[in-house]
Every structure is written in structure tokens, then in C-alpha cells.
Amino acid sequence: MGIEQIPPGWPLILGALLVPVLPRRARQVWMLLLPLAGLVHLALLPETTAWPLSIFGLELDLVRVDRLALVWGYIFHIAAFLSVIYALHQDDVVQEVAALMYAGSAIGAVFAGDLLSLFVYWELTAITSVFLVWATRTERSYRSGMRYLIVQVGSGVLLLAGIVLRVRETGSLSFGDLGGVTDLATGLIFVAMGIKAAFPLLHNWLQDAYPEATVTGTVWLSAFTTKLAIYALARGFPGEGLLIPIGAAMTAFPIFYAVIENDLRRVLAYSLNNQLGFMVVGIGIGTAASLNGTAAHAFAHILYKGLLFMSMGAVLYRTGTCNGSQLGGLYKSMPWTCAFCIVGAASISAFPLFSGFVSKSIIVAEASHAHLTVTFLVLLFASAGVFHHSGIKIPYFAFFAHDSGLRVREAPLNMLIAMGIAAALCIGIGVFPGPLYAILPYPLEFEPYTIPHVVTQLQILMWSALAFAVLNWYRIYPPELRSTNLDFDWVYRRAGPAVARSIGGAIGALRGAVVGTARGRVIQTIERVHRYHGPQGVLARTWPTSSMALWVALLLAAVLLLYFA
């Protein structure tokens, strides 16, 4: 079998099947080799690789390799490799198998050339990833995982419905530019992808499930699901105008929730929403440069967001909590984790010389070039906000702020190695962006390190830092408190059931009243009939013959009169 006959992602999917039968040491080595083998396999595939297949008169393209898919393919393999290293200390076969199959399914979806193949992988990512939430093995994680699974499978159902309608209308399963949201079919596909991309009002599954996953599971989850949706949107809806306001809203609204959130992993989940918004805006603009910016930002984002989740996971692993109100002063006992967290914070904040700067600035610049003034200003606001809640808040409340008195050991060596590699990549991409730019889908002529770019970004960051310092000094900044913040999911998790119960109670009361009234009427009718026709009723008595003859004569007379009338 030639190497081009092995679909991307399948080395991880098939390799995961051997994990349960291997001893622990052999299993660890095997799991480290699988992403590396997959990456080498991907690098050897020619860009024209395709698997055409005809079935039931429909043309399928099971595998399609091009430059857009390769960007996601490379970073997904790198993320899988780093996640395996990060999870080497654990001995949980269920998580290991689920994680590898999850990563393999996401990679397979990226290289699917038709909508039906995309749907199959789409659902596989949902089914495999939920075990990373359930692996916490608590009642809360079970319920959160069920909600996550319902949403993810629901996204797949909408995707399938849209595919069926599109095949009926066009007779094609091709997965390329779908021409925008022009009919019900493309609308359903768009919403399905929007759910997985955590569009506003469809986003709460992310903040619900990710913080409830295991220490390592959250790192896996942060890399694949939402970025797969970003890829699908970039492939299917480039230049769709709806994505610009949607993406702008995504960059802005999570800031307010992240500022008041106590759980630092949930802060990162909101921050993930914020960063996805930049990518969505880039897809909506739809130029070659903005799509390059989306691809570059997705690549960089997977690394620095994974690094931040790794650092918070290490804190959770050692302290048993990720609540800002219970942390502080950990730089004394976890200095390496603190340093790596600061690198991730600088990267997500788009500091010059870090990866976020060389990717995010492409999208912001394209928004400016497209004369999208409002969107451009929202992106600037969001850039300041992300530094506020992820660049400062995460490392400050976890490692500095007040001294919580916690004295713990440094993170396990495998965690530090994974964080160190991710941090090195974040710095390397920021200092030398050329290799990243070289693998982007379209030729790119962009220089991030110009005086206007650097000065503008530093102004945003410094003013944001000043605002944090002033608010914190005067105790205006929202303190880290044990609390529950209400988001849109309150509508369907609390308000919806409450309204349903109220409506159900009203319907029950109305039904009771109607049934009670009807029962009373029936009883009255039966009693009345019994009164006249019962054993003692008037009509049941024996009448004299003369009376009966008289009544018969009267009735006959009445009939005759009616007849002549």
C-alpha cells in the first residue's frame, strides 16, 4: 500500500485501537510515535492527493490535500504530540484512546473533500471528545458531558439535514465554497458550523464543558473542536458577510464575562471565544490576506491557548483548584509553570516578538484595509480586553496577587516539557514568522514589524495594563469571589424549564377544570335520566290502557296536522 493510500488522521485512529493492549511504558512510547508518524505521513503526501469515489450516482472525494487543509493538518498533529507529552503522567486508557481518536477524527475532517465524509468525521469528534469530559467521573461532569454531547450531535444533525437538501437541490456533495448563505440548505450547514465554532448565543457548551473536563482533557479539547469549525467555515463560507458582525461580537462580549469569572479555566474558555472571533472576522472579509490571517491565527492560537490551559491544568493538578479566589503566590513553588504561563499570556495578548502578534495583526490590518471602521474599532477594543483578562488576570491571580499560602511541588516533568516546547514555539513564531507565513494557503506579503503596527499594539497593551493597575489599586476591579455568573445558557437551563413548568401547571389546571366540569355534567345527565327512566322513574311506571290510547290519539292527531301543514 502506497503512503498516499492512507487517509490523514487514520494513523491516530487505528493506532488508538492498540493502546488498551499495550503495557504502560510501551503505550506511552506508542502514543508519542503516532502523531509524529502522522505528521511525517502528511508531509510526504503530494498536494494533489485525492480519493474520488462514486456511490449511488454521487461523486465523493474522500481525501483532498491542499494548502488550506495542510495548515490545520500540521498544527493538529503538533497539538496532539504536545498533548500526549502533557498527559504522560496519567494512566487512564479511556482518556488515551478517546483523545487519540478525537484528534484523528478532527484531522480526517480537515482533509475530507466532500460533505458526507465531513459529516462522518464531524460526528466522530463529538462522540470521542465527550469521554474527556466524563473522565472526571463526577456527577457534575456527567451532566455537563451530556449537554455537550447533545449540542455537538445536534450540530451534526443540522449539518446532515443541510447536506441532504443541498444534494437534492444541486446533486453535488462537493465540499468547497458553498456560495454563501443563500437558501435553507446552506443556512443549516452554516448554523451547524456556527454551533461548533461557538457563535454568540450558541457558545455556552464551551464554557460549560471545557472546565469540567480532566486536567489533560481540557488541553485536548482546546485544540480541535472549535478550530475544526473555523476550518470548515473558511472552506465553505469565505467572504460571507454575516461572519463579520458575528465575529466582531464574538471578540467583544466574552471580555465582560471573563473579567468577573472566578474559575480561571472558565476565563480561558471565554478567552477562546474571543480569539475565535478574530478568525471568524477574517473569514468574513474573505480576501486572500484575511484568510491567510485566519489560518495563521488558528495555528498560533492552538499553541498559546494550549499552553495557557496546560499551565492552569498544572495548577489544578497540584493545588486541586483553579479558582482565583483560592490561588495566589504560586510563583514561589511553581516558577517554571509561572514562566510558561506568562509566555502564553504574552502570546495571546499579541505582544511583539510573540506568536499572537504576527497572526492577529494580519486580520486587524485587513479589517482596516477593507474600510470596516466599526469592526476595526471593535477588534482594537477586543485586543485590549484579551490582554486585560488573559494576559494579566490569569498569571496575576494564579501566581501573584495575594499569597494564598499554598506551597506545592512544581508540575510533573512531562507537563513542563510540553509547556516548554509550546512556549518555545510561541516565541519562535513571534520572532521568525517566515516559516509560518510560508505554509499559508495563499502567497503573503505582510511585514508585522513595522513602526505603526508595533507602536499601535504597544499603546493598546500599555493602556490596558494601566487600566488594570488603576482599577486594582483603587479596588474597583471585580474581586475574585466564589460565585455563579449567568450567561445565555440560563435561558434554556433555568428560565426555559421554569416557563415550561409554569405552562405545564396552567395546562394541568385548565385540564382539571375542563375534566371536572365535563364529569359533573355527565353525572347530572345520568342522574336526570335515572330520575325519569329508572325503576322508580315517572316514565318507568305502568300506565292505564285508557291513558295510553289517549296519548296515541293525540300523537296521531299531531302527525296529521303536521302532514297537512
- Please state the φ and ψ torsions of residue 412, each to the nearest 5 degrees: -55, 155
Q: What local confidence, expressed as pLDDT, does residue 1 receive?
A: 47
pLDDT at residue 423 above 90? yes
- Cβ pair 199, 246 in contact under 8 A: yes
- Could you tell me the three cell numbers for 234? 473558511
Of 333, 268, 346, the C-alpha closest to 306 is 268
Kindly state the DSSP code that residue 19 receives in the 8-state scheme.
G
- Could you tell me the three cell numbers for 364? 486587524
Residue 55 host element (H or E): strand 50-55
Q: What is the mean pLDDT of residues 225-254?
A: 95
Residue type for position 533: H
Give per-residue pLDDT as tens, 278-288. Answer: 999 999 999 99
pLDDT at residue 491 above 70? yes
Q: What local confidence, expressed as pLDDT, does residue 415 receive?
A: 96
pLDDT at residue 167 above 80? yes
Of residues 495 and 76, more confidence is placed in: 76
Least confident of 47-61, 246-260, 363-377, 519-533: 47-61
Q: Which residues pair with 52 in a beta bridge?
A: 61
Kindly state the DSSP code that residue 63 receives in the 8-state scheme.
E
- Cβ pair 426, 82 in contact under 8 A: no
pLDDT at residue 474 above 80? no
Give per-residue pLDDT as tens, 339-371. Answer: 999 999 999 999 999 999 999 999 999 999 999
pTM: 0.88
Give per-residue pLDDT as tens, 23-67. Answer: 999 999 999 999 999 999 898 888 766 677 777 667 788 888 899
Confidence of residue 480 (pLDDT cuts 50, 70, 90): low
Of residues 483 and 129, more confidence is placed in: 129
Q: Give ∠ CA 373-387-483 in degrees, rounded to 5.
A: 110
* DSSP string for 328-370: --GGGT-HHHHHHHHHHHHHHTT-TTSHHHHHHHHHHHHHHHT
pLDDT at residue 2 above 60? no
Q: What local confidence, expressed as pLDDT, does residue 483 receive?
A: 67
User: How many C-beta atoms lie closer than 10 Å to residue 203's C-beta?
Assistant: 25
Q: What local confidence, expressed as pLDDT, does residue 278 receive?
A: 95
Of all residues in the chain, what percent carry a pLDDT higher than 70? 95
Confidence of residue 481 (pLDDT cuts 50, 70, 90): low
Confidence of residue 149 (pLDDT cuts 50, 70, 90): very high
- Cβ pair 13, 127 in contact under 8 A: no
Distance in angstroms (rounded) separating the CA atoms of residues 435 and 404: 43
pLDDT at residue 141 above 50? yes
- Cβ pair 304, 426 in contact under 8 A: yes
Of 74, 79, 75, 97, the C-alpha closest to 17 is 97
Per-domain residue ranges of the chain:
51-60+133-491, 492-518
Q: What local confidence, expressed as pLDDT, does residue 471 receive?
A: 78
Q: Which three-class secondary structure state does DSSP give residue 61? A: strand
